[in-house]
Structure 1
Amino acid sequence: MVSPKLPLLLVLLHAVFGSAYRWYNWQFEVTCQSDAYIVPEDEAATAKFLKEQYPRGSHIKVVGNGHGFGNLTTCVDNSLTEKPTYIVSLDNLKHLSINKEDMTVTFGAGWDVYDLIKELKANGLSFDHLGVERVQNFVGASTTGTHGSGSSTGNMASQIVGLRVLDSQGNLRVLDEKHNGEELKAFRISLGALGLITEMTIRVQPTLHMKKTTKVLNATSDYSKMYQELAQLYREHDRMTVWGPHFDWDADTQSWALEPTYFLSWWEPTDYTDVQNCTLNYCANGCGDCKKEYICYDEVTDAISCPPQGVCTREFYAEIEHFFPIEYYAEAAANYTIFQQSQTPRMDAPYNHQMVIQHRSLKGDDTYLSPVNTYNLSPELSGVFGVIEIDWIQEYNNFTTLWQNQELAMEFLPHFGEIYNVRPHWNKMSPPNPTYTLEKFPKLPEFLAIQERQDPKCQFVNDFLVRQLGITRCQDFLSS
């Protein structure tokens, strides 16, 4: 059966008579139109739907909350193909079980990060690491490489110890660390290319409290000096995020003006459990009264991330996020900033407002398509990655400005990729270049072999995946 609010039969009948469903990402610059929006009631109904669609070769794309900047989750638009094309939501898969003996939580694919946090708190548990926001679907966020900051902290996917996955024929595959741990390394960050994840099991920990310290620093146009000082701070603090430097758009001079100050925060475990007050200021997301020095204490998820009400930036913005060995951090950060400033004359579209450069660190891992995989690192490197993010934020929503800034964002990887062994965050301005992808993700051939087994008719791919991963057998996926 499927959800009573959206019966499968009704959806398919609507598709026959020309009804369609248009999908958008969170800021409406990525969109596609499918024949229908499918919401199965449970895993069995999901498998049944896949079995029915396999003979037709239907295009199938699972979506969460659309919190992405690129076209990774775009469905195959029904104007491009004669085959049926569907968007699938697994929102109804909301079962959950907690095992405190082995400190794991198993849950259906419909859970969002925000709701999972509440369940863990109610049971005296915490995530070890998350991204800065909680608005995403957990499966979608983790399997695209979402992360927080910490030199001994991995991305969200590193917490995954088990999965239930349906292939394109509706066959179930159960993965865990004990029985097929090597294959689990491919599925942890699968980009939607390996099937429909219906259930996930992750490691958790007893409630963890953190002390958050925020400091205000003076900015300088001597970028080399500024970033060398930050590199030293990263050596001193395990979990640290730098929000800055900040630049404001000067409409009169058509240039970016460096703000005199910026701020950073670091987190450390604490036994203090009295007043929990980090949620009074949502600076985990760079908004609130952030440029002030303070100390707060809270449960780890409230100390490092913010709930939907703490998401202050609703305007369009373009973003890049690049990962590279942290040993290159000071030099790379300076050169990224210099390159950005050298491109200022191009940024003459209306409504530019602010540009913020953010810096984090992340522990490397052994996951096939993780942006912080350690497979091609030389022995002298630590396996810790620096992360540079640049956000171009608008004063008002304007597509011309958005597209202009995204065009510039695409140029950073070609400029710096080979120099610093850079890997972009999936779904954030990743140029489609399979040769480069193979160099930075040496396990890509093994991933593609699994992808062919899971999706022999290329039903789960889209243009982004085919071009970015070099899935040559799927080059004619629209028609074949």
Structure 2
Amino acid sequence: MNKREFLKASGSMMAGALLSRMGVGQAHKEAAAKANRTNWAGNYTYKAARLDEPGSAQEVQRLVTSLSNAKALGARHSFNDIADSSGDQISLKNMTEMTLDKAAGTVTVAAGVTYGKLAPWLDAQGFAVHNLASLPHVSVVGACATATHGSGVHNGNLSTAVRAIEFVDGTGQLTTLSRAANDDEFNGAVVGLGALGVITRITLAVVP
């Protein structure tokens, strides 16, 4: 084989290998997108082997007590692997209950509720939260647990509206903390970054 033939053959092999890798990468990306296992921006593919989708706090309890390694997955609005797991991910998207207490001036929402769902639902009943996330698909629970700032320099961040939280801890126990009944523990738990367990419901103050 002369030099020209060698270079031609080498170029063909390199091009074939590159196209093959591109094809595999594209297929992997498309499969991940179909499985809803990428973050919202599509720049991170979750590596967790299984995705669990409970519909109630009791189902979350059963998962937590039966799994050795799991993390909660909210609206997937993160650019890194913080919500990824070497075991299971527990998606809370099916938990979408909302309850308004007009007399108390509060609304209680399940962990899968987003601001895009909550805001118009409250508005139809003559109420609103004091501040909103900048994106509608952000989950209420996730935004409050991470002290998302919301908008406006004169408004408290989103977690300042929290009046009570319900979560499943690492032992599977369902716990509720409120500003009224558990002031010290509550203040340390609101912006918990997921460290206390899987938040299943949250209660917020609302305004007319």
Q: Give TM-score scaled by structure 2 length.
A: 0.78
Report SS of the residue matched to 2:51.
strand
- Over the matched positions of the two proteins, sequence identity in percent amounts to 29
**1:111-165, Cα deviation, whole Å (9 max, x unpaired):** 1110001210111001111122211111112211212233331111110010111
SS where residue 183 of structure 1 aligns? helix
Give CA-to-partner distance per residue, 1:273-322, whole Å, 9 cap, x none.
xxxxxxxxxxxxxxxxxxxxxxxxxxxxxxxxxxxxxxxxxxxxxxxxxx
1:47 aligns with 2:64: no
1:188 partner amino acid: V
Partners of 1:186 and 1:45 lie apart in 2 by 26
Q: How does 1:332-347 map to 2 (within 5 A)?
A: none
Match for residue 59 of structure 1 among 42, 66, 69: 69
Match of 2:85 in 1: 76
Matched, 1:118 2:127: no
Equivalent of 1:105, from 100, 104, 107? 107
Q: Distance in 2 between matches of 1:90 and 1:133?
A: 18
Q: Distance in 2 between matches of 1:163 and 1:44?
A: 16
Partner SS, residue 24 of structure 1: coil
Tell me which residue corresponds to 2:47: 33
User: Alpha carbons of 1:177 and 1:147: their partners in 2 closer, same or farther (altered >3 Å)?
Assistant: same
The TM-score normalised by the length of structure 1 is: 0.35
Tell me by how many angstroms 1:69 deviates. Answer: 2.8
Give 1:194's aligned residue: 196
Q: 1:141 aligns with which of 140, 143, 153?
A: 143
DSSP-derived class of the 2:92 partner: coil
Give the aligned partner of residue 205 of structure 1.
207
Please give the alpha-carbon distance, in whole angstroms, between the structure 2 residues aligned to 1:140 and 1:156: 10
1:119, 1:90 → 2: CA distance? 19
Q: Contact between 2:108 and 2:201, CA under 8 Å: does it hold in 1?
A: yes
Contact 2:39–2:76 under 8 Å retained in 1:
yes
Q: Is the 8 A contact 1:130 1:146 kept in 2?
A: no
Backbone CA RMSD of aligned residues: 1.7
What residue identity is the alignment partner of 1:114?
A: G
What residue identity is the alignment partner of 1:59? Answer: N
Within 1, Cα distance between the matches of 2:182 and 2:91?
A: 27
Give 1:259-338 correspondences, 5 Å limit: none
SS at structure 2 position matched to 1:161: strand
Q: Secondary structure at the match of 1:126?
A: coil
Give distance in 1, aligned partners of 2:151 and 2:60: 35
Distance 2:160 2:183 in 1: 12
- Write the deviation string for residues 394-433 of structure 1: whole angstroms up to 9, x where unpaired: xxxxxxxxxxxxxxxxxxxxxxxxxxxxxxxxxxxxxxxx
User: 2: distance between equivalents of 1:23 and 1:141?
Assistant: 20
Alpha-carbon distance in structure 2 between the residues aligned to 1:41 and 1:132 = 27
> Counterpart of 2:76 in structure 1: which amino acid?
G
The separation in 1 between residues aligned to 2:66 and 2:98, in whole angstroms, is 28
Distance in 1 between the 2:91 and 2:85 partners? 15
Q: How far apart are 1:189 and its partner, in Å?
A: 1.3
Q: 2:49 and 2:57 mapped to 1: Cα distance?
A: 22
**1:110 positional shift:** 1.3
Where do 5+ consecutive residues of structure 1 fail to align? Answer: 1-20, 78-84, 207-480
Partner of 2:90: 88
Aligned length: 174
Cα separation, 1, equivalents of 2:55 and 2:134 = 31
Unaligned runs of 5+ in 2: 1-34
In structure 2, how many angstroms separate the alpha carbons of the residues matched to 1:41 and 1:32?
A: 21
* Secondary structure of the structure 1 residue equivalent to 2:71: strand
Q: Give the stretch that moved more between structures: 181-190 or 63-72.
A: 63-72
How far does residue 22 in structure 1 lie from its aligned partner after superposition? Answer: 7.7
| Aligned AA (1:76) | S
Q: Counterparts of 2:150 and 2:55 in 1: how far apart (Å)?
A: 32
Shift of residue 177, structure 1, vs aligned partner:
0.7
Cα displacement (A) at 1:186? 2.1
The offset of 1:88, in angstroms, is: 0.6
Q: Distance in 1 between matches of 2:64 and 2:151?
A: 38
